[in-house]
Amino acid sequence: MCGIVGYIGNKPGSDIVVKGLEALEYRGYDSAGIAVIENGHGTVIKQVGRVAGLIEEVNQQELNASLAIGHTRWATHGAPTIANAHPQTNNARSIFVVHNGIIENFSYLRERLQAAGYNFTSQTDTEVIPNLIDFYLKQLPSFEAAFKAALQDVRGAYSIVAISTDEPDTLFAARLSSPLVIGVGEGENFLASDPAAIMEHTKKVIYLEDYDMAIITRDKVHVLNLKDEKRPEPKVELLDYDNEQAQLGEYPTFMLKEIYEAPAAIRSAMLGRALADRHLVKLGGLESVLGQLKYIDRIVIVAMGTSCYAGLVGEYLIEELAGIPVEVQLASEFNYRKEPFSRSTALLAISQSGETADTITALKKVEDYGVLRLGIVNVVGSTIARMTDAGVYCHAGQEKAVASTKAFLAQVTVLLLIALHLSDGKTKRFVPILDELDTLPAKAQKVLDQAEEIKRIAEKYKGYRDFLFIGRHLGFPAALEGAIKLKETAYVHAEGYAAGEMKHGPLAMIDKDFPTFAIANDSPLLDKTLSNIQEIRARGGPVVAIATEGNKEVKDLCDDVIFIPKTIPETSTILQVIVMQLFAYYIATSLGMDVDRPRNLAKSVTVE
Ligand code: F6R
């Protein structure tokens, strides 16, 4: 949520900053702005809406400033308006601040500053920061001292970058629970929420840690830790990957492109890991903790949203294949529970972005418990990837659309590999699963080849305002995932339920205006799901179902059927979910929704 870019060097900073903001737009896209300092004067340009609008505005001005900061916003405090967009300034318009996160004690600070004569023009929590720095600047000898003093007063989570007309060659930055990375260049330096924004300029980076404060000029980067002033300066790291910006190519949207990348995502998640010919699963990312893994007798999976539903799939897989009890918790709930947690429990965080605030807090919560912290992460070098003891990357490639699609498939593939790995070859399912995994990318492609048919069915159902998704066993988390995809892309009310729970409440909702999407492919529990479908049909509810190729019984029973290739239960979720991704996509696009950037959402949720 919210993306930050900063530049100090010899080039026109505004161009570099707005280009970086484009790469960060996934973090928030309701407004954007920049501030530059040139000849002792600060200029702020802000726009409501996408970064493209800001770029147009910036291009119309002659800006050559070599000190610039920028921000793309996902509103927390105050509506997306010009006044609330960042950069925010002090009353004298000499200090400019961009901020990601939440200042929890902003009301108190605001009242204190108002009592001291400061006026506020926005509804943001951020506006207290430049004014607080201004307040301390009147009492302290330097901007650095005033910035530090202001940081001591703010509570919450933040990454902050400040510039001032009094310090026209310096970026001041700070981080607490919100990512910020310094890009180290030659005669120029950068700041960003994500290396993707600055990678084209430098691969040398310094990741700021919590309580770090940085003072950055063209030629020098100085980082100190406000909690531990004796801590040595952090080292410069070399990014060893290329974060090529995904291109749309022939696709109309990133969501569709990413759904179509399903076979490639499954393949890359398995590459060099699932060795069917050698009957081996090799997970290099877990090798350093193999000794510890032997003593693990419980796993708690923490994640949010779609990643949490992948975790629920993992729960079935790890319990059934490796015999280790697993519990899945929404990280936001886990964080405030007081549950017993022994050292033989491992915490497994799942996150596409690796930046989700709640999931990071969960990892922090167990920091002092001495437990093993594992991760399944897609974005290389992200906060969660760096803070876990060991983990497995998804390798799904960059996911740009806000709704997660291919990353979910990669997460489930990785979870299946972890389950096999933990089973130590003892399960009889080991070889059949590895053999099936080998065929899975081709089966995923077969599902995609039915896109036209799925589109036809989706158009038939686009007028309904409510939808129920039902499934059993591994089809249950798949149903939850089907429902969230429809909600977030088409803004249609949808709920995922275990099919067995229908009679315990949801059946009361069913009538001709309330359709059900039933996951009814071949499985040992199919007969039970068919009974649930019968009960829905008996009450006039329309039913669209997923069935296994050739299953006539499901076809006869339901209004519409989408067939998937025959597969084993352990891999079935992947094929089911591709169908539901396409189903949601076509309903959403036929309703005219912006599927890549749904309203009110952001790709990376960096505030609790
Ligand atoms: C839904 C979706 C979200 C994310 C959730 C967690 O399509 O994308 O529910 O899954 O915000 O994000 P990550 O996986 O980045 O931790």
> Cα Rg for the chain, rounded, in angstroms?
26
Phi, psi of 90 (to 5 degrees): -80, 175
Long-range own/partner contacts, residues 338-341 (CB < 8 A, 24 or more apart): 341/300, 341/366, 341/369, 341/371
pLDDT exceeds cutoff 90 at 76 = no
Structure tokens at 391: 């983990």
Average pLDDT across the chain, whole number: 95
Cβ-contact 73, 110 below 8 angstroms = no
Structure tokens at 165: 């007309």
CA distances from 296 to 223, 345, 349, 373, 442 (A): 38, 6, 16, 11, 35
- Whether 411 lines ligand 1, by a CB cut-off of 6 Å, is no
Separation of alpha carbons 588 and 490, rounded Å = 4
pLDDT exceeds cutoff 90 at 225 = yes
- Whether 383 lines ligand 1, by a CB cut-off of 6 Å, is no
CA of 361 to the centre of ligand 1 (A): 15
Cβ-contact 437, 317 below 8 angstroms = no
Instruction: Indicate the residue type of 295.
Output: Y
Separation of alpha carbons 292 and 544, rounded Å = 46
pLDDT in tens, 111-157: 999 999 999 999 999 999 999 999 999 999 999 999 999 999 999 98
CA of 353 to the centre of ligand 1 (A): 8
Separation of alpha carbons 275 and 281, rounded Å = 6
- Whether 399 lines ligand 1, by a CB cut-off of 6 Å, is no
Distance of CA 111 to the CA centre of its chain: 35
User: Which position has the token pair 């202001």?
Assistant: 150
CA distances from 80 to 490, 557, 594, 607 (A): 22, 48, 18, 17
Atom number in ligand 1 closest to CA 353: 15
- Tell me, letter by letter, the H, E, C secondary structure of 241-294: CCCCCCCCCCCCCHHHHHHHCHHHHHHHHHCCCEEHHHCEECCHHHHHHHHHHC
- Whether 403 lines ligand 1, by a CB cut-off of 6 Å, is yes
Residue nearest to atom 16 of ligand 1 (CA): 351
Task: Give the contacts of 406 (CB within 8 A, at least 6 positions apart).
Answer: 258, 259, 261, 262, 264, 265, 396, 397, 399
Mode of pairing for the β-strands spanning 543-548 and 560-564 = parallel
- Whether 304 lines ligand 1, by a CB cut-off of 6 Å, is yes
Q: Hey, which of 74, 193, 304, 608 would you mutate to test ligand 1's pocket, going by the most ligand atoms within 8 Å of its Cβ? A: 304
Separation of alpha carbons 379 and 105, rounded Å = 32
DSSP 3-state assignment of 445? Answer: helix
pLDDT value at residue 426: 86
DSSP state of 379: S
pLDDT value at residue 75: 85
406 is catalytic: no
pLDDT band at 177 (very low <50, low <70, confident <90, very high): confident
Separation of alpha carbons 396 and 441, rounded Å = 13
CA of 575 to the centre of ligand 1 (A): 20
- Whether 605 lines ligand 1, by a CB cut-off of 6 Å, is yes
Separation of alpha carbons 489 and 600, rounded Å = 11
Separation of alpha carbons 42 and 97, rounded Å = 12
pLDDT band at 498 (very low <50, low <70, confident <90, very high): very high
Q: Hey, which of 356, 481, 607 would you mutate to test ligand 1's pocket, going by the most ligand atoms within 8 Å of its Cβ? A: 356
Atom number in ligand 1 closest to CA 303: 16
pLDDT value at residue 245: 64
55-69, 151-165, 228-242: range with lowest mean pLDDT: 228-242
pLDDT over 90, % of the chain? 89
Cβ-contact 584, 479 below 8 angstroms = no
Instruction: Return the H-helix or E-strand segment holding 496.
Output: strand 493-498
- Whether 489 lines ligand 1, by a CB cut-off of 6 Å, is no
Cβ-contact 404, 306 below 8 angstroms = yes
Residue nearest to atom 3 of ligand 1 (CA): 305
Residue nearest to atom 11 of ligand 1 (CA): 305
Atom number in ligand 1 closest to CA 408: 10
pLDDT in tens, 262-296: 999 999 999 999 998 888 899 999 999 999 999 99
For 367, other C-beta atoms within 10 Å of its C-beta total 10
Atom number in ligand 1 closest to CA 305: 9
CA of 154 to the centre of ligand 1 (A): 28
Mean pLDDT of 5-10: 97
pLDDT in tens, 522-550: 999 999 999 999 999 999 999 999 999 99
Structure tokens at 314: 């993992």
Task: Give the contacts of 410 (CB within 8 A, at least 6 positions apart).
Answer: 265, 266, 268, 269, 378, 394, 395, 396
- Whether 351 lines ligand 1, by a CB cut-off of 6 Å, is yes
Separation of alpha carbons 435 and 588, rounded Å = 36
CA of 599 to the centre of ligand 1 (A): 15
CA of 555 to the centre of ligand 1 (A): 33
- Whether 332 lines ligand 1, by a CB cut-off of 6 Å, is no
Euclidean distance between the first and the last CA atom of the chain, given in angstroms as a whole number: 10
pLDDT exceeds cutoff 80 at 246 = no
pLDDT exceeds cutoff 90 at 37 = yes
405-409, 428-432, 477-481: range with lowest mean pLDDT: 428-432
212-216, 339-343, 351-355: range with lowest mean pLDDT: 339-343
CA distances from 95 to 61, 86, 147, 168 (A): 21, 12, 11, 11
Cβ-contact 29, 98 below 8 angstroms = no
Catalytic annotation, pick one of 2, 308, 394, 558: 2
pLDDT in tens, 583-595: 999 999 999 999 9
Structure tokens at 219: 């030629």
Instruction: Indicate the residue type of 417.
Output: L
pLDDT exceeds cutoff 80 at 421 = yes
pLDDT in tens, 288-338: 999 999 999 999 999 999 999 999 999 999 999 999 999 999 999 999 999
CA of 269 to the centre of ligand 1 (A): 18
- Whether 307 lines ligand 1, by a CB cut-off of 6 Å, is yes
pLDDT exceeds cutoff 80 at 244 = no
603 is catalytic: yes
- Whether 305 lines ligand 1, by a CB cut-off of 6 Å, is yes
pLDDT value at residue 307: 98
Atom number in ligand 1 closest to CA 403: 7
Instruction: Indicate the residue type of 103.
Output: I
CA of 408 to the centre of ligand 1 (A): 9
pLDDT exceeds cutoff 90 at 253 = yes
| Sheet containing 345-351: order of strands | 326-330, 298-303, 345-351, 373-377, 390-393
Separation of alpha carbons 71 and 160, rounded Å = 11
